[in-house]
């Protein structure tokens, strides 16, 4: 039997607030509910997931640095770090793992500063604007990428 695929799911700053504020932008589902959806989808595919959320850039960078010891790929909603963090981009690139970037809202339909991502150039691809479905589509795309590389 082949080893199962392992995916690290990372959520950036303020995503712990999901479901409590700004539902018109980010929907009404909590982060736990999104993680549960991902876990159910991964289970069907026989994929293992680990979840991590932090409001601290350094903590997210630390978790990314640890990823290669366990994970085959990274699914990340970098939240505001998308638009600000060279440190996160460098850490993700250094893992040499495939990265898929996801956003709940359509970042291109919002303020100009959200249209630039430091992460997209080092990602396999990016899904934006579909609410929690962005995560599910991103996970599917990452699994397909990993399966095609094995």
Q: Tell me the C-alpha distance between 21 and 14, whole Å.
A: 10
Please identify, among the stretches 1-9, 67-75, 78-86, 92-100, the one whose residues bind ligand CA2 according to the rule CB under 6 A: 78-86
| Nearest alpha carbon to residue 21 among 12, 30, 34 | 30
Please identify, among the stretches 58-66, 76-84, 85-93, 140-148, the one whose residues bind ligand CA2 according to the rule CB under 6 A: 76-84
Return the number of the residue (15 or 100) whose C-beta is nearest ligand CA2. Answer: 15
79 binds ligand CA2 (CB under 6 A): yes
Q: Tell me the C-alpha distance between 93 and 110, whole Å.
A: 27
Q: Which of 9, 53, 75, 77 binds ligand CA2 (CB under 6 A)?
A: 77
Q: Tell me the C-alpha distance between 115 and 106, whole Å.
A: 9
Minimum gap (Å) between residue 4 Cβ and ligand CA2: 27
CB 7 within 8 A of CB 74: yes
């Amino acid at each position: 039997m082949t080893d199962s695929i392992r995916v690290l799911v990372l959520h950036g700053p303020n995503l712990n607030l999901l479901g409590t504020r700004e539902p018109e932008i980010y929907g009404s589902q909590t982060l736990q509910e999104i993680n549960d959806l991902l876990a159910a989808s991964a289970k069907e595919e026989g994929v293992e997931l680990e979840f991590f959320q932090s409001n601290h850039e350094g903590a997210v960078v630390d978790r990314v640095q640890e990823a290669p010891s366990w994970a085959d790929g990274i699914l990340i909603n970098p939240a505001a770090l998308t638009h600000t963090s060279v440190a996160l981009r460098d850490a993700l690139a250094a893992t040499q793992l495939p990265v898929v970037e996801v956003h709940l809202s359509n970042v291109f339909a919002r303020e100009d500063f959200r249209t630039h991502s430091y992460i997209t150039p080092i990602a396999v691809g990016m899904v934006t604007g579909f609410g929690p479905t962005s995560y599910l589509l991103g996970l599917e795309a990452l699994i397909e990428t990993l399966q095609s590389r094995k």
